Structure formats: C-alpha cells, structure tokens
Amino acid sequence: MDSLYSKANSVLSPASPYAHNIAHLFWVTFWISVVVLVFVSAFVIFNIVRYRDRNQGGLPPQIHGNTAVEVTWTVVPFVILAVLFIMTVQSMEAVSPPKHPKTPPIQVDVIAHQWWWEFRYPDNKVVTANELHIPTGQSIELTLTSDDVIHDFWVPELGRKMDAVPAHPNKLVIQADRPGVYLGTCAEYCGAEHAWMRIRVYAQKPSDFQTWLAGQAQPHPAPTKIQQIVGMGFFTSACSSCHNITGSGTPGAQDVGPDLTHLADRETLAAGVLPNTPKDLRKWLEDPQAIKPGVHMPNLHLTSQQLDGLVAYLEEK
C-alpha cells in the first residue's frame, strides 16, 4: 500500500510547462514575501528591544504621524503589487488552454463522481477510471464535468487545479515532460469519502501510450477458466446495473460505478484506497463499507464462491 504513495506530489517539483510557470511565480512571490516579513518582524522586535521601558520616567516624543512617510508606504507596496499583477495575468494566460493551438491537443473527458473519476478518450472509445494515461511531451485538454456535486481535479506536478462542476464544463490543460506516475486528488470537499478520491496520472512515451490505448480499446478478455465463467455470469446478472465491462454482454454505458473493463491493468482499487491485487479485490467485494465507509457500493453479501468467481473474472489479463 505505502509503495503506491512513495512519491511526493509537490507543487514545487513541477513536471510540465504549466506547473513550471506557476512554481516560478510562486518563488517570485515567496521571496518578496520573505523580504516583507523579515523587515516587519525585525522592526517590531527591534522596537521592543531598543525602546523597552526601563523606568526612565517621563514621556517619549509624542509623534502623531508624517504624511510623507504614509504616502511612501502606500505607494511602494502599490507599485510592487502592480508588477505582481502584470505577472499574474501573463501567467494566467500561459497556463490556460491555448486558444489557437498549433496541433490539436489530445482530448479526454473527465467526469467526477462521488468518489471516483471517470476518464473517457472520445476518439478511441476507451473508458477507464481513477488512473489517467497520457503521452509525454504534449498537451492534454481535459473537459471536466461532474455527475453529482462539485469536485476538483488536482495533480500538482502537471498543472493547475480545476473544479468539476455539474452542468458547467471546464477546460483544463495538463502536460507531463517525463514518463512517470503523478499523484493527485480531488481537492474540493465532496462528501463522506472526499479523502479517497485520488488520481493517478501515468505519463508514458507516446508509443507506449498508443499501445496502452489500443489495448484498452479491446474488449475485456473472454473467460476461459470455469471460475471466470461463473464470475462473468454473476457480473452480468448483479454488478452490471452499475458497472460496465465491454465484452461481458451487458448493454454498456452504465457509469453509476467505475467501468471495470481491463481492471487488471490498474494499480489501485476504489480511487486509491487499496492496491489492486486479487486478495485486496476480494476484501473489497466482501464489504466495501468496511474499507471505504459511505461509498455508494453496498455490501452485496456475496458467497465465497461468488467472490472467487468475480475476482477471477475481473482480474483476468
């Protein structure tokens, strides 16, 4: 479990031009702030030390103010902030989706749900959940919406965060310079399991990404072993009212719960709460409420046989 989260996801270790731009702006603002803080703190502490009452009696000079000084400390911060404002607007444009891109960016539709992420690659008819795959070195345009309440897509190393609002599609552009896993999370409080609505972005070399995409576009592997056949049978009769598996013979397009086609290719279960191993999947199916209390998936009170079957079918490679 901890190995899934051994990598930091810091705003200050940017891995995209967008996150770089923001980190740079952060450092500029940070150093201005440090100067202001050191100056004010030093002045306050100096005054306390230097002008502490030592029972010398009498009154200090009764100074009521000085207009020139007041104007100075009004105008100087104003000028600094004006410069910061210009930098802000420039950066805002730079990290927003370009209006006239040279090459059209790859499109991914992101639909947020309580408490999981649905990722759709509209050009390839691929649907996956919680783990987003992208090619390195190119901009990805995400169209964010929500199926229920407001959520927020945040992968700090790849770019800004953006709310996923019902009936208000938002465009967000991300990019990864280097292959790797980038961690993120839902950042807008969205109810009971807000904590376990995590995001994993897998940035792959474009060729690897294309291979992955082609693999995902295939139907789920057909069951071969008896247990897998039992599992598929149970899936189509019970699970398919909420979940879809392409190739299982269900109508498809159910997105009450995550699409489970090629589940075995994913590293985590239930938006990051468990690693994806047969043992953990069995534990999850046995009682989802014990692992992710409040999750919309009920405890189905499955028999041991049903559990074995489902695990075998779902984890089929």
Site for other proteins in 3-32 (CB under 8 A): 4-12, 19, 21-22, 25-26, 29-30, 32
- Residue among 81, 222, 226, 256 that touches other proteins (CB under 8 A): 81
- 41 or 224: whose CB is closer to other proteins? 41
- For other proteins, give the closer residue by CB, 145 or 227: 145
Count Cβ atoms within 10 A of the Cβ of residue 158 and give its class: 0-12 exposed, 13-18 middle, 19 or more buried: buried
Tell me the C-alpha distance between 292 and 294, whole Å. Answer: 6
- Return the number of the residue (83 or 226) whose C-beta is nearest other proteins: 83
277 part of the interface to other proteins, by CB under 8 A: no
Could you say whether residue 199 binds other proteins (CB under 8 A)? no
Most distant pair of Cα atoms in the chain: their distance: 98
| Segment near other proteins (CB under 8 A); pick from 81-89, 116-124, 207-215, 308-316 | 81-89
| Phi, psi angles (nearest 5°) of residue 228 | -65, -35
Interacting positions 203-232 with other proteins (CB under 8 A): none
**Which of 118, 131, 188, 255 contacts other proteins by CB under 8 A?**
188
Q: Show contacts with other proteins in window 92-131 (CB under 8 A).
A: 92-93, 95-96, 114
Judged by CB under 8 A, which of 107, 170, 236, 254 binds other proteins? 170
Q: How many residues does the chain have?
A: 317
Query: Which of 138, 134, 208, 141 is CA-nearest to residue 173?
Result: 141
Which of 133, 198, 200, 220 contacts other proteins by CB under 8 A? 198
Ordered DSSP codes for 184-251:
EEE-S--STTGGG-EEEEEEE-HHHHHHHHHHHHSPPPPP-SHHHHHHHHHHHHTGGGT---TTTTS-
DSSP structure class, residue 28 = H
Which 138-167 residues touch other proteins, going by CB under 8 A? Answer: 144, 148-150, 152, 154, 156, 160-163, 165-167
Which residue, 182 or 235, has its beta carbon nearer to other proteins?
182
SS3 314: helix
- Told to check if 64 binds other proteins by CB under 8 A, we report yes
**In this structure, how many other beta carbons lie within 10 angstroms of the beta carbon of residue 132?**
24
CB of 235 to other proteins, least distance (A): 28
**d(C-alpha 116, C-alpha 111), whole Å:** 9
